[in-house]
Amino acid sequence: MPHLVSQQPPPADYYAANLRLLLTEVSDRYHDLLDANDRRFVSACLAASIPAQRLFARLLSRRGPWIRVDSLDYPEVGDNGHALEELKRAGLVAVDPVAPADALLNLLTRPELNSLYPSVRERTKAEFINRCVVRYTDSGIRRRLQDRIHWVCVNAFGSFNVCRLLYFGDEQQDLSAFVVQDLGILRYEPYEIGTSTRPFDVRAHLDGYLRLRSLSLLSRRVDTVPGLASQLLLGLWPEPGTRAEQRQRNKILLRLARWHERRGELDEALQCYGRATAHPARVRRVRILKRLGDDCGANQLVSHIAAAPWGAEEEDLARRHDRKRFGQKRLGQKQDRNAPLTTLCQLGGAAPAGIENHARRLLASNVGTGWHLENRFPLGLAGLLYWDEIYAPIKGAFTHRFQLGPRDLFWPDFAPARQKLLQARTEMLSSPEAVARRLRQVWAAKTGTVNLLVNWQAFSPQLVATLAQQVPAAALLRLAARTIDNLYRLRTGFPDLLMVYGPGAYEFVEVKGPGDKLQPAQRVWLRELDELGLPNRVLSFLR
């Protein structure tokens, strides 16, 4: 397998080798999920000559779908024309196929357009093309273009996208992931990839996901296509078969709901929000119900939210809603018993640009050390202590070798899918010295390895040593366990500072400048720290 070297051209077979690797692994692991067209595509690609494979790999990386033939000049291919003819015979590409006239005109430079239609005079290229499309027929434009240029289109983009989806697990990554890996930009954790981690068991699940992906792309055009929103909603009636389908469905429903809400179509917005199973659907429903004067419906929905919140904003909404609805006396006292401990501090001048670091220096001025870490602290701590469990071979979590973490890391069912593994690790860490030993071992072995939870710049050797020596292991374990069990709702809002004043003396401090208020996620984290028995407070600066 050829590899890249920084500051040097890629080996001649580099891109083709990556394409062969992707197609071979997909064929081996997902052969039962590929339909006849997909199998023909894979077979044709792997059977092509090396020059044809090299050209095809380049075509797949180009912005298409229509590409000028005279722009295909790749030295590693050799005879580009011969390779293109082979790809055409194999059915992998089409040369000069019927294509939208505006797309073809866009392949030309402005001087070429002026030469092609000297009578058209417009200020910008886009205006020029629009005028041509209005004045001339598509077929006439194509005939005139074929006297000047030729274009090529990849025939099997659909099958390639299926293979890419099966390999990478989503539509966000492509063959460039190989480049990032080979240049040493990222180092990935070795994790198991096998039948047990496949995101799709049957072709129906794959087709369902692809269908929803198409609907998702269409949902971005509701402003320009009349009646599209209602048709999309009809297409979302079938129940999703996999977690991946459910996430796609939720994204579409939330997008449609927000669109209806902006237009003042509140009944339609409620319908879309009501069918979604992800935040912020229920929060938006509460607000719309209140706008409509349906306090009974809003109160009933808040009761459901309070029983099983989907995230920090829902928890905060439920608490604030009850305080407004029943008053503080119903809570048992005149003041909110959940209000965070707050220390007021006079600035004595203008607020500094970095108020958090200003507070850190003040708190550490006499004795102690501080770090401005925010969410990087609980996430990194959980990432280090539960490293192996994060990379466990859970179904659908890992589909290829270039993932920054499991695909479900921040999904609500991340922890339930690994419940026994996480519990076993927590028990192992409950023995004396186990937390400090685990922190040191994992930090030493994994430093620099990609983990979405761990920011290696934040977790310095000094921080790890201080945690191991001066912060109680039981406190660190409680914080890490709570975080890993609730990543979907506790990934933001952690206090700004970790301050350590000596063995066993530490606190978490949320810093607020003049006029700043606590956000919902911050209030939730402060309550979590109280429940865990971990010292915390808000340091609020006054002018």
Arithmetic mean of pLDDT, 501-521? 92
How high is the pLDDT of residue 456? 95
Q: Are residues 359 and 498 in the same domain?
A: yes
How high is the pLDDT of residue 13? 87
Arithmetic mean of pLDDT, 275-303? 93
Residue 373: closest CA among 498, 470, 519? 498
Place of tokens 């229920």: 282
Per-residue pLDDT reduced to its tens digit, 40-55: 999 999 999 999 999 9
| Least-confidence region, from 188-197, 385-394, 495-504 | 188-197
CA 187 to mean position of chain CA atoms: 19
- Contact in structure between 435 and 429 (CB atoms under 8 Å): yes
Is residue 169 assigned to a domain?
Answer: yes
Q: Are residues 432 and 297 in the same domain?
A: no
Which secondary-structure segment (H or E) carries 153? strand 151-154
| Least-confidence region, from 209-213, 336-340, 433-437, 448-452 | 336-340
Q: Are residues 211 and 182 in the same domain?
A: no
Q: Which of 175, 195, 215 is the last residue of a domain?
A: 195
Q: What three-state secondary structure class fits 140?
A: helix
Per-residue pLDDT reduced to its tens digit, 72-91: 999 999 999 999 999 999 99
For residues 56 and 17, give the distance between their C-alpha atoms in angstroms, rounded to a whole number.
Answer: 11
Buried b (16+ CB within 10 A) or exposed e, 126-152: eebbeebeeebeeeebbeebeeebebb
How high is the pLDDT of residue 328? 46
Look up residue 403 and give its two tokens.
């993932």
How high is the pLDDT of residue 403? 82
How far, in Å, are 178, 189, 422, 466 from residue 446 at the CA level? Answer: 21, 8, 19, 19
Q: Are residues 269 and 151 in the same domain?
A: no
Domain count, the chain: 3
Q: Are residues 183 and 310 in the same domain?
A: no
- Contact in structure between 83 and 51 (CB atoms under 8 Å): yes
Q: Are residues 47 and 162 in the same domain?
A: yes
Residue 185 has pLDDT above 80, yes or no: no
Q: Which carries the bigger pLDDT value, residue 190 or residue 383?
A: 383
Torsion 279-281-284-285 (CA) sign:
negative
For residues 359 and 362, give the distance between their C-alpha atoms in angstroms, rounded to a whole number.
Answer: 5
What is the CATH classification number for the domain harbouring 228? 1.25.40
Amino acid at 377: F
Is residue 298 assigned to a domain?
Answer: yes
Using pLDDT thresholds of 50, 70 and 90, give the confidence band for residue 354. confident
Residue 96 has pLDDT above 70, yes or no: yes
Is residue 1 assigned to a domain?
Answer: no
Q: Which carries the bigger pLDDT value, residue 320 or residue 20?
A: 20
Is residue 7 assigned to a domain?
Answer: no
Sort 383 into a burial class: Cβ within 10 Å, 0-12 / 13-18 / 19+. Answer: buried
Residue 159: closest CA among 213, 210, 208? 210
Is residue 132 assigned to a domain?
Answer: yes
Q: Are residues 44 and 126 in the same domain?
A: yes
Q: Are residues 35 and 174 in the same domain?
A: yes
Arithmetic mean of pLDDT, 511-518? 90
How high is the pLDDT of residue 440? 96
Using pLDDT thresholds of 50, 70 and 90, give the confidence band for residue 133. very high
For residues 114 and 439, give the distance between their C-alpha atoms in angstroms, rounded to a whole number.
Answer: 67
How high is the pLDDT of residue 182? 55
Per-residue pLDDT reduced to its tens digit, 355-375: 999 999 999 887 889 999 999
Residue 133: closest CA among 376, 142, 168, 181? 142
Is residue 258 assigned to a domain?
Answer: yes
- Degrees to nearest 5, angle at CA 320 with 314 and 324: 140
Q: Are residues 78 and 210 in the same domain?
A: no
Q: Which of 331, 352, 385 is the last residue of a domain?
A: 331
How high is the pLDDT of residue 5? 62
For residues 452 and 234, give the distance between their C-alpha atoms in angstroms, rounded to a whole number.
Answer: 37
pTM (global) more than 0.75: no
Q: Are residues 74 and 89 in the same domain?
A: yes
Residue 526 has pLDDT above 50, yes or no: yes
Q: Which of 331, 356, 373 is the last residue of a domain?
A: 331
How high is the pLDDT of residue 131? 92
**Domain membership of residue 320 as a residue range:** 197-331
Tell how many helices (H) and how many strands (E) occur in the chain: 26, 8
| Least-confidence region, from 4-18, 237-251, 295-309 | 4-18
For residues 233 and 226, give the distance between their C-alpha atoms in angstroms, rounded to a whole number.
Answer: 14
Residue 351: closest CA among 515, 172, 151, 115? 515
Q: Which carries the bigger pLDDT value, residue 197 or residue 46?
A: 46
The Cβ-side half-sphere exposure at 235, using a 13 Å CA radius, reads 23
Q: Which carries the bigger pLDDT value, residue 446 or residue 8?
A: 446
Arithmetic mean of pLDDT, 97-116? 92
Using pLDDT thresholds of 50, 70 and 90, give the confidence band for residue 498. very high
Computed over every residue of the chain, the mean pLDDT equals 89
For residues 443 and 448, give the distance between their C-alpha atoms in angstroms, rounded to a whole number.
Answer: 9
For residues 355 and 540, give the distance between their C-alpha atoms in angstroms, rounded to a whole number.
Answer: 10
Arithmetic mean of pLDDT, 189-196? 82
Q: Are residues 267 and 413 in the same domain?
A: no
| Least-confidence region, from 137-151, 183-197, 389-403, 433-447 | 183-197
Amino acid at 318: A
How far, in Å, are 74, 77, 172 from residue 26 at the CA level? Answer: 27, 25, 17
Residue 176 has pLDDT above 80, yes or no: no
Residue 214: closest CA among 235, 199, 229? 235
Arithmetic mean of pLDDT, 391-397? 88
Residue 532: closest CA among 482, 470, 498? 482
- Contact in structure between 274 and 285 (CB atoms under 8 Å): yes
How high is the pLDDT of residue 337? 47
CA 140 to mean position of chain CA atoms: 44
How high is the pLDDT of residue 372? 96
Using pLDDT thresholds of 50, 70 and 90, give the confidence band for residue 401. confident
Q: Are residues 323 and 426 in the same domain?
A: no
Is residue 472 assigned to a domain?
Answer: yes
How high is the pLDDT of residue 329? 42
| Least-confidence region, from 111-120, 194-203, 218-227, 401-410 | 194-203
Is residue 2 assigned to a domain?
Answer: no
DSSP secondary structure, 482-514, as one string: HHHHTHHHHSS---SEEEEEETTEEEEEEEE-T
